Amino acid sequence: MLVVTRYRVAPDAQETFREQAGAALEVLTARPGCTSGCVGRAVDDPALWTLTTTWDSVGAYRRALSAYEVKLVVHPLMYLALDEPTAFEPLLTWTPAGGTVVATSSLAADAASVGLGEAAGPSVPPA
């Protein structure tokens, strides 16, 4: 799972933001299931920043968000993020050793039509 959180940071707040984002990156990458992370800034728009992490699974990411240290360090930064989707499912991945790999979706068959809390029964029939 790929998580990309974007931020619009005023020029006078960039040093403070960089420190906050660095602390958030350190806390997130220490959580089980995090495979990588980086803080970046747009080359053409220095006010646009990203905090990007990759995870073994959606569950690993969600468990990380509930950890005390993450709530303390990362959650305040998340309130500054642009209001847009942040979690992405990798469908094509390239590595130097393996070339391009096509991943199978790990989402439920009804993921695009059923939201959290909408599945009412103990079992949902397969699509």
**Amino acid at the residue 2:** L
Q: What is the pTM of this model?
A: 0.76
Range of the domain at 39: 2-90
| Residue 127 located in a structural domain | no
| Residue 50 located in a structural domain | yes
Cα 80 from Cα 77, distance rounded (Å): 5
| Residue 58 located in a structural domain | yes
**Could you read off the pLDDT of 67-120 as tens digits, one per residue?**
999 999 999 999 999 999 999 988 887 778 776 666 666 655 555 565 555 655
Q: Structurally, how many domains does the chain consist of? A: 1
| Residue 16 located in a structural domain | yes
Tell me what pLDDT residue 115 has. 58
CATH number at residue 65: 3.30.70.100
Average of per-residue pLDDT across 36-50: 97
